[in-house]
């Protein structure tokens, strides 16, 4: 799990390094920079929550696994949708910059999340429980 968290943080750091360079060069303004911050932070929180829920339900029975992961997926979707609504309603952010950044980070972090689930499932099928 520590390896996946470090991968997520590396992706986040690289993405924000690129955004920071664009901001420093004057290509994006402060208004759009704030929008990217909120979008990437929301995705980071969503990914950490997914990894935490999976780790908590990994060694349990199938019923708890499905409740934690599928129920967690629904709860995370609701949480993200409500957060996006609150951000748009109450914060002065660039909506297009937020959506663009949100989807880029969302799909990249989703690939990492699915890879983590796949590797853990392979380890469970082999009968080992060590973290790779």
The answer, yes or no, to whether residue 4 has pLDDT greater than 90, is: no
What CA–CA distance (Å, rounded) separates 30 from 92? Answer: 11
Of the candidates 26, 35, 27, which has an alpha carbon nearest to the alpha carbon of residue 104? 35
**In which residue are the tokens 């004057």 written?**
26
CB atoms near residue 108 (< 10 Å): 17
At 131, the pLDDT band (50, 70, 90 cuts) reads low
**Tens digit of pLDDT for each residue in 27-70?**
988 888 889 999 999 999 999 998 888 888 877 788 888 888 88
pLDDT of residue 130: 52
What CA–CA distance (Å, rounded) separates 79 from 27? Answer: 32
Domain definitions of the chain by residue range: 2-126
How far is CA 68 from each of CA 35, 52, 54, 76, 114, rounded to the nearest angstrom?
A: 31, 10, 7, 11, 16
> Cα 69 to chain center, whole Å?
15
Residues in the chain: 132
pLDDT of residue 45: 93
What CA–CA distance (Å, rounded) separates 32 from 26? Answer: 11
Q: Please give the average per-residue pLDDT across 75-88, as a whole number.
A: 94
CB atoms near residue 33 (< 10 Å): 18
**Tens digit of pLDDT for each residue in 82-115?**
999 999 999 989 999 999 999 999 999 899 888 8
How far is CA 122 from each of CA 56, 59, 76, rounded to the nearest angstrom?
A: 17, 14, 25
pLDDT of residue 127: 66
pTM, full prediction? 0.81
pLDDT of residue 106: 92
At 129, the pLDDT band (50, 70, 90 cuts) reads low
């Amino acid at each position: 799990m520590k390896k996946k968290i470090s991968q997520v943080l590396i992706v986040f750091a690289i993405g924000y390094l690129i955004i920071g360079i664009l901001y420093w060069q004057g290509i994006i303004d402060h208004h759009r920079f704030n929008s990217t911050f909120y979008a990437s932070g929301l995705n980071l929180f969503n990914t950490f929550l997914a990894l935490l829920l999976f780790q908590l339900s990994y060694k349990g029975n199938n019923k708890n696994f499905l409740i934690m992961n599928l129920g967690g997926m629904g709860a995370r979707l609701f949480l993200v949708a409500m957060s996006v609504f609150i951000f748009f309603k109450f914060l002065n952010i660039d909506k297009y910059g937020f959506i663009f950044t949100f989807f880029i980070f969302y799909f990249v972090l989703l690939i990492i999340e699915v890879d983590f689930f796949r590797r853990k499932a392979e380890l469970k099928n082999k009968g080992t429980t060590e973290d790779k």
